[in-house]
Amino acid sequence: MIWQLVTPLLILGVVLFALLRGVEVFDALIAGARDGLNVLLRIVPALVPLLAAVTMLRASGFLNAFSELCRPAFQWLGIPPECAPLLVVRPFSGSGALAVGIDLMQTHGVDSLVGRTAAVMLGSTETTFYAVSVICGAAGVGRTRYIIPAALLADFAGYISASMAVRWLFT
């Protein structure tokens, strides 16, 4: 498959390009990796209570019942009903959505249709309410007019096309 070469070639290309421009590549790699560790350190404390809560929801049977409740509407839209909890959490909390996504990968299999769709949804959408409130707050924008409805429509289109793309490419 061609995209198995994408990441190695991309990294190799970046390294060669940077070398030609006289960048100390190894120093930069180490500095970036240290940033990465800081990112992870910030994620862990949030992920512990969130993954605990999501695992409780899964084990209690609530998530299955919720997905079943959403099944008719989701099937009509072409979205796997199992992904319903992810859609609810995604706009509000990035680490919460990661916790739900991990749970879906564990429960249904990381390379299953549901596991892949969850990953694609996570990779192609943002924590909308958080992003909008941070940027508007810092930029001094008070009334956001139609920003939230348009951003949620964009998310919704992202969910539907993520489901379609995974179905086309992996079945």
Of the candidate residues 55, 77, 82, 171, the single one contacting another protein (CB under 8 A): 55
Query: Any contact of residue 60 with another protein (CB under 8 A)?
Result: yes
Query: Any contact of residue 9 with another protein (CB under 8 A)?
Result: no
Of the candidate residues 72, 73, 78, 144, the single one contacting another protein (CB under 8 A): 144
Of the candidate residues 9, 65, 73, 77, the single one contacting another protein (CB under 8 A): 65
**Please, what's the b/e burial string for 112-129 (b: 16 or more CB within 10 A of its CB; e: otherwise)?**
bbbbbbbbbbbeebbbbe
What is the size of the binding site for another protein (CB under 8 A)?
103
> Distance between CA atoms of 106 and 103, rounded to whole angstroms?
5
Smallest separation (angstroms) from another protein to the CB of 72: 21
Alpha-carbon torsion (74, 75, 81, 83), positive or negative: negative
Let me know: does 130 contact 92? Beta carbons within 8 Å: yes
Residues in contact with another protein, shown as a per-residue x/- string from 109 to 128 under the rule CB under 8 A? -xx---xx--xxxxxxxx-x
Which amino acid does the sequence have at 160? I
Smallest separation (angstroms) from another protein to the CB of 133: 9
